[in-house]
Structures are given as C-alpha cells and as structure tokens.
Amino acid sequence: MVAFAALVLLGTGLLSLPQATETGEPAAPATALFTAVSAASVTGLVVEDTSGYWSVLGEVTILLLIQVGGFGVMALATVLALVVGRRLGLRMAVYTGTEAKGVSLGEVRQLVTGVLYVTLVFEGALAVLLTLRWWLAYDLNFFSSLYTGIFHSISAFNNAGFSLYSDSMEGFATDPWITVPIALAVIAGGIGFPIWVELWRFSRKRGEARHWSVHAKLTAGMSAALLLIGLAAFLTLEWNNPATMGALNVREKLLTGFFQAVMPRTAGFNSLDFGAMNTQTLLVTDILMFIGGGSAGTAGGIKVTTFAVLMLVIYSNVRGEPTVHAAGRRLSQATVSQATTVALLSLGLVLSATLALMTITSFTLDQILFETTSAFATVGLSTGITGDLPVLGQMILVFLMFVGRIGPITLASALAMRRRSRAYELPEERPIVG
C-alpha cells in the first residue's frame, strides 16, 4: 500500500508540472491525481484527453506509471535487487510473494524473471507490429508511428487502456492488423504471469509426466468461457444497433464483437461507442468487468479464479456435497472463505460508490454503475461521463481504482496488521438460511 501510494504521489507531482501539459499551465491537482492513479492502477479512465491535454512529458509520465503499475511495485523492486545485489533477501521475497498472490517463497525469483521476460517479449512484438501498421498504412511518419506503437503496446499488455486517440480504437475498428494484436496482448497480460511460468515449465518437461495445476485449469477454462459469452452477448445485443454495429458487414461485426468481448477483461480500449450501446449490453459488460482477468497479472476485478471458486461452491451446495472439488482436487476451506470475502467486499464497495455518485450527480443508474465497476475493476471503459463528474465524484473513482489495484483482501490484511486467534469458541447454532 505504501509503495503504491508513493508511486501515485510521484506521478501526481510530475503531472502537476507546467511542462506536463500542452498549454504550459499546471494541471489542476484533482486532474493530476486522477490521471496518476488511473495510470498506476492500469485503469485507463481519463478526465482530460491524453494526447490533447498532456505534453510529451505528461504522456511519457503516464506511460512509465502504466509500466511500473502493471509490472508491480514489489516485482520491480525485486528485479532491481536481483540485478544490483545478485541476491534476494527474505523480506523482499515475502513482500513479492504477497504481491504475486499465493506464489510460494521458493518461486519468487523464477516468477519475477518470468514476468520480466514475458513483458519484454509481448510488448516488443506488439510495438513492432503496430509501428509497421501505422507507418505503412496510415499517414504517420516513422518516428510518430514508433512512439504511437510503443505507447499502445505498453498500454495494451498492461491492460491499461490509455490511448493517444481521443476516440480510443474507434477509428481502427475494422482494421484487424491493429485490433487483433492489441486484443491478443490484452489476453496475454490479463491471464496472469503464473500461467506463463507454468507454460514454460510444461514445455521443458519432455518425456515426463506433465500436469496442469488447478489454478491454470480454472483460469484458462473460465477465461475462454467468459470470452465466448462476451462475444455472443455483444453480437446478439448490438448486431442491429445503428449507432454501433448496425452499419458494419458480417466480418466487421465479428471483428468488433471479438475486440469488445476481450476489453472487459480490464483493458479499457473500445472500438465501439459505449455511450451508444444498449442498456442490456452495458449490464453484461458490468458483469464481465467485475469478474476481470487472471490472478497475479495486469488485469483487475475479483479475478476469474475467484468467480470459478464461487461457482464451484454453489455447485457443491446444490449437490449436497460437504467439500468443494475442482479439476480432481479438493479446495481448502481457506480458499473458499477468501473467494467469498473478496467477492462480497468488492460488491459492497461498488454498490456503495454507485449510491454515493447517484446522490451527488444526475446521471442514470446504468451510467454510474458502469463507471464505478470500471474503476474498481481497473478497466477504463466509460460511457463518457468521467470528465463531467464533480471533483468529489472523481475522488470516489480514485479511491475505487486504488483499492481495486491492490485488492480488497490485501487492503484488509494491511489494515488489520495481524491475524487474531480466539482463546475459546462459543457453542454452535445454525440460523435458518433462505
């Protein structure tokens, strides 16, 4: 919490400099803070147009905040310790293990180096593809194409959603050479770094017994299912909407449907105008954003594994089974309790923020719920009301983005400081449920 807050304060200070804006006037404190939190939490919500309001210094500051925020404050500190000191202290290993959410102490070094390699490979490959496309197919010189390609590659892989275009990717909605690589990078960053480490280990075990972990199976299976559900929902609900997909041909509808089905994984790019979408589509997007992506990755939300555990709990209870099983393994009660806690805390925060914004603004429920869910799940999608919110409303979103990045369970643990044990237990009694 302290490290992330320090990163936000540093970013706010840099964005408050007169040189950080195009006009040369210092940004308002609320604007600088909101943008810094949005970038560091890899959300993507903006109150000012990124390319029109911020100078090159401001854009580079945003880009660095995205990179550091996506990579993880503790993971970055560990990499620096490995490079400089050639050794990893116990305290730093424990901190990084906490940031990685469940990685054992002995795996920290391998995880962090894997995070670094995966980040460089995906961001580098995407930057090359986007640079060539913008240079060869659009009216951009090589250096502008290179800058634009690097900016969007870092933003995409880190699931940030910041764009140098005021309409995000709407101008390239039917260009598969831009939208498909960006979507694939979003999936790669959002699926979670432990999955890529496991893939690497899996490929090295030639001739040996190779097994996927329960985490990998749940993450991959649920991610694929949600992607297909999102694609089907967008195509069904927006197929004939004249303001979104209505004027496109079948190929273009499939392309834009796929792109928008990926983005609620917490990326924040949009190739269609969410402000013109049907209310039903916004509700489906709310659900997908709230679930989010994979654990220990650049995605936000309660995470697909949390959602999968909750579904398995319901399935087990309906069947009358005393324990929860997944992929040939029994899930511990601690896992079930943690998933329930994360989901309920997250739901409570989103609903409380929604009620607060409805009290102080005149926007509709579907607009406000979309905005609060997007902020908490660090998505960055918006119906276009972010810049019109009062300062108090923007600060509510700042709080949601901050908490959404570090995780409700991490925040609760940091505030509690230690686990308390009971000296005795009271007699058991069961209330009527339902």
Distances (CA, A) of 402 to 5, 25, 77, 282, 299: 8, 27, 20, 23, 14
Helix axis angle, 29-40 relative to 391-406, nearest 10°?
Answer: 20
Contact 375, 401 (CB under 8 A): yes
Structural tokens at position 370: 């979309």
Structural tokens at position 417: 């400081």
Q: What is the pLDDT, as a whole number, of residue 426?
A: 85
Q: Would the CA dihedral through 371, 373, 378, 383 be positive or negative?
A: negative
Contact 198, 273 (CB under 8 A): no
CB atoms within 10 A of CB 251: 10
Q: Which residues contact 281 (CB under 8 A, 6 or more apart)?
A: 233, 234, 237, 238
Q: Which of 352, 432, 377, 359 is nearest to 44 (CA)?
A: 377
Structural tokens at position 415: 């505030």
Structural tokens at position 391: 């300062």
Contact 104, 190 (CB under 8 A): no
Question: For the chain, how big is the Rg over CA atoms in Å?
Answer: 22
- Residue by residue, pLDDT tens for the chain (434 residues) are 788 899 999 999 999 999 999 999 999 999 999 999 999 999 999 999 999 999 999 999 999 999 998 887 557 655 555 555 444 555 655 555 555 555 555 556 666 777 788 889 999 999 999 999 999 999 889 999 999 999 999 999 999 999 999 999 999 999 999 999 999 999 998 887 778 777 777 777 665 556 778 888 899 899 999 999 999 999 999 999 999 999 999 999 999 999 999 999 888 899 999 999 999 999 999 999 999 988 777 888 898 989 999 999 999 999 988 889 988 889 888 788 888 888 998 999 999 999 999 999 999 999 999 999 999 999 999 999 999 999 999 999 999 999 988 876 565 555 444 556 678 888 988 788 77
Q: What is the pLDDT, as a whole number, of residue 223?
A: 92
Q: Which of 398, 372, 80 is nearest to 72 (CA)?
A: 80
Q: What is the pLDDT, as a whole number, of residue 86?
A: 47
Q: How many degrees, rounded to 5, is the angle at CA 406 between CA 265 and CA 298?
A: 35
